[in-house]
Amino acid sequence: MANLEKAVTWAIRIANDPAHGYDQPHRMGGIDYDCSSLVQAAFRQAGYPMPDWLWTGNMHATLPALGYTWHQGMGGIRRGDILWKTGHTAIYIGSNARVEAWMNEFNGASGGAYGDQTGQEIRVHAPYDDDGFAGYFRPPACNSSKPSQTGDDDTMQCIIQPNGENRLVYFDGTKCHDLTHPDQVKALQQVAKACGRRLPSLKLGSKTAPWYTRLQQALR
């Protein structure tokens, strides 16, 4: 069953976690997000239908077909509604505030380091309506996606940002594989989803505490 509060609190948690920042090329990697991929990820993990290809330019064509209702203007807005304007989207969280993936440390959309370098790349911001939003999408009341499947597999598989470096690797449970293109992360996540599983992402270690190096040593 879809859970609206879960979508909101997940997005707020991501905004408050400096491991996650803003980046369009890496938007589907599970570490950094842009505005639309943050919305997509928040609602998908909360059980709502959300396509992989969601972006601000196709939300009006995509979301109503999935049960989301468009409301022009800000009248009647409530917690969990999806704010939209040309080129930007966010989630209204109540108390006159929104949560959003905003911009990277260079005030741009690409070329930054992984994670939040400024504390504002993904943020909770008030007032919610200071950015010229045209209206909002209200999520379907009780529309759920396919039931989650946890399975009995106890293998460890994840995407890792090693030792604070600006790169990613895939840990398959026994060995680490370098990832050289953002689409490789997306492909791995799609395979995991098709198998009814979630492929988590994490930062492991830093220059002063090289836990990724220790992981590699443990695997030898």
> What residue ranges do the domains of the chain occupy?
4-138, 158-219
Closest CA to 41 of 122, 124, 158, 105: 122
> What pLDDT digit, counting tens, does each position of 144-173 carry?
333 333 334 456 888 898 998 888 999 988
Q: In CATH, what class is 4-138?
A: alpha beta
CA dihedral 166, 168, 173, 174 (to 10 degrees): -80
pLDDT in tens, 167-207: 899 998 888 999 988 788 888 887 777 666 778 888 898 98
33 or 30, which is more confident:
33
Q: How far apart are CA 213 and CA 147, in angstroms?
A: 37
- pLDDT per residue over 84-116, tens digit each? 999 999 999 999 999 999 998 888 888 888 888
The pTM of the full predicted model, rounded to 2 decimals, is: 0.65
Say what the pLDDT of residue 149 is: 38
Identify the burial level of 109 via C-beta atoms within 10 angstroms of its C-beta, where 0-12 means exposed, 13-18 middle and 19 or more buried.
middle
Answer yes or no: is pLDDT of 81 > 60: yes
